[in-house]
Amino acid sequence: MHNLVCIKHTPDSAATMFVENGLVSWGDAPMVVNPWDEYAIEEALRAKDKFGGSVTVLTMGPESSKEALKTAIAMGCDHGILISEESMESYDARITSLVIARAIEKLDNVQIVFFGKQAIDGDTGLVPMSVAHGLGWTGFSYVAELSGIDVENAHISLVRLLEEGKQSCSGKLPAVISVVKEINEPRYPSFVGIRKASKAEVEVLTLDDLELDDKITSDNNGSLTWSEIQEIPRKSTDAELLDGPNMNSIAAQLVEKLVEDKVI
């Protein structure tokens, strides 16, 4: 079976973000594979281990995003595709989804498209289910367990993690799924994988190659831009440290403070 993983190159989750000349900056913090996407890569590789076939990994972004693809190839993905275009920096979740859906249509016989549940930069979580609807495929978000894949009958069953607990459901292939952390423990790139990735050729697609509809890429079509980025005001003082002759005295003080603050 041929499966696809869609990933994003994002600033490291430990990066301190700030605003410089009105633009988002993360200083010299490294760029990494979006942490949620590691679980998507792992799940796609597990499907390959079980059913054979191949895994293609796709990302959208500047040339430097190839690094994310190489990480995925080092983990075991077979083939990398970069959708590259300078103007893409400003694409919102909907346009991104339409471009990815178009790229998927051009790929051969994809059965499952895996996403992480969201990217840690834009944090919208919209792209996976938007791609599903764009393709007219079944979409499952927040998947915590892939319980069954029946390639012959084009059927998939899985468990989703919702606010209230876990939901078991099933549907038809091809499907688009987004995964949560609970689904697996991602593998580390192997030594052999890293060597393979260093030599791997990444396929580069431009928007022209995808033959997109003009209205998708034209500027004023219900697209979204961040008009202003603000830093979150930092708390200027450290915690008020509660102290006393014994634990009982500190506990009583803390209860008093929380009652005064009307939070208990």
Partner 1 sequence: MGSGVWVYIDHFKGNGLAASWEAISVAKSVASQLDTSVTVLVFGHQTDELVSEVATYVSDTIIVCDDHTMEDFRIEPYGALAAKLYQNYKPHIILLPATTRGRDLSAFLSIDLGVAVVADCTDVNIEEGCTQVTRPVYAGKLNARISLDNLHPQIISLRPRAFPKVGECDGMAEIIEVEPVMTESDIMVKVLDYTAADYDVSLVDANIVVSGGRGVGGPDGFDPVRELASVLGASVGASRAAVDSGWIPYDHQVGQTGKTVSPDLYIACGISGAIQHQAGMRTSKIIVAINKDVEAPIMKLAHYGVVADLFDFLPIFTAELKSRFEK
Interface with partner 1 in residues 111-150 (CB under 8 A)? 120-130, 132-134, 138-142, 144
Listed ranges 74-82, 187-195, 202-210, 220-228: which one lies at the site for partner 1 (CB under 8 A)? 220-228
In angstroms, give the least distance from the CB of 168 to partner 1: 4
Are the CB atoms for 139 and 101 separated by under 8 Å?
no
Long-range contacts of 202-205 (CB under 8 A, 24+ apart): 202/66, 202/69, 202/70, 202/80, 202/81, 202/82, 203/79, 203/80, 203/81, 203/82, 204/81, 204/82, 204/84, 205/81, 205/82, 205/83, 205/84, 205/103
Residues numbered 24 to 53 that lie near partner 1 (CB under 8 A) are: 24, 35-36
> Segment near partner 1 (CB under 8 A), from 71-79, 103-111, 195-203, 238-246?
238-246
- Asked if 217 is part of the footprint of partner 1 (rule: CB under 8 A), the reply reads no
Considering the rule CB under 8 A, would residue 252 count as an interface residue with partner 1? yes
Q: Determine if 169 is a binding residue for partner 1 (CB under 8 A).
A: yes
Measured CA to CA, the distance from residue 101 to residue 174 in angstroms comes to 13
Q: Are 62 and 84 in contact (CB under 8 A)?
A: yes
Supply 211's token pair.
Answer: 């033959």
Indicate which single residue of 64, 87, 90, 168 sits in contact with partner 1 (rule: CB under 8 A). Answer: 168
Q: Does 231 help bind partner 1 (rule: CB under 8 A)?
A: yes
The answer to whether residue 88 forms part of the interface with partner 1 (CB under 8 A) is no
Residue 89 touching partner 1 (CB under 8 A): no
